[in-house]
Amino acid sequence: MAWENILLEIEDGIAVVTINRPKVLNALNAAVLAELDAAMDQLAADDQVRVIIITGAGEKSFVAGADIAFMSQLSPMEAKQFARKGQQVFSKIENLPKPVIAAINGFALGGGNELAMACDIRIASEKAKFGQPEVNLGLIAGFGGTQRLTRLVNPGMAKEILFTADMYDAETALKIGLVNHVVPAEELMNFCKSMAKRIAARGPIAVRLSKEAVNDGLEMDLEKAFIHEADLFGLVFTTQDRAEGIDAFLNKRKPEFKNK
């Protein structure tokens, strides 16, 4: 597929998806969402891809939010459909059977923060800025922000972020649990790729089932989540990778996982 709004690079089992609209700080519109959607389908189906990194083009912005000029033309029904499309694409990222790392290189505001929250792991440049500024425009977060934010930070902090439209620096984002790490700007992609390589070297089925166990368990009570975990633990014992991993450990060699 020919991409107009994103860049897609794949090397050594790691895919880097770059939102490529730097002139508008990588703002999200319907076309960007459609390409992100298609890219996630392509990467999910590619057995050579083990880990995905999502970032933004340029030095200023990861994604500065939804495209305001685009949204200004929407009717109420079109706005609802746009929100539902964003929710669907971000949920696809959240539930993709492969780990997704957000490399947050600058502004992650509104839809950009919502995109980052849909990723499994968030790594921020020290220059990154975060916020949900929708109420400044008389809007609310519409791509899952009111729901994911409360699950990542405590509900009171989530409400403060949503109600005030304040912008937060990377260290504050780290302190409240919105990101995993903060690194110097010039080290961001190397840090993300290094983590992606470590993940890619692990058993891919085990990584996928670990993600499934976490995501599904968040929606269950604890005892049901334990049962689900045990089911997946039993399932992984049916795989060739499990046998390979244990044999490699016992014989003090590096495992060669086949994703089988």
pLDDT over 70, % of the chain: 100
Catalytic site residue from 9, 78, 94, 114: 114
pLDDT higher than threshold 90 for residue 225? yes
Q: Which DSSP string corresponds to 118-148?
A: HSSEEEEETT-EEE-GGGGGT----SSHHHH
Query: What is the rounded distance in angstroms from the CA atom of residue 18 to the CA atom of residue 103?
Result: 10
- Check: CB of residue 130 under 8 Å from CB of residue 158: no
pTM (predicted TM-score): 0.96
Mean of the per-residue pLDDT values for the chain? 97
In the residue annotation, 134 being an active-site residue is answered as: yes
For residue 1, pLDDT beyond 90: no
Residue range(s) in the chain whose domain bears CATH number 3.90.226.10: 6-200
What is the tens place of the pLDDT at every residue in 50-71?
999 999 999 999 999 999 999 9
Residue 237, phi then psi, degrees to nearest 5: -75, -10
CATH code of the domain occupying 6-200: 3.90.226.10
Give the distance, in angstroms, between the CA of residue 82 and the centroid of all CA atoms in the same chain: 19
At 194, the pLDDT band (50, 70, 90 cuts) reads very high
Q: Tell me the CATH class for 204-250.
A: mainly alpha
Strands 121-125 and 181-183: parallel
Catalytically annotated residue among 9, 59, 134, 171: 134
pLDDT of residue 2: 83
Residue span(s) of the chain under CATH 1.10.12.10 come to 204-250
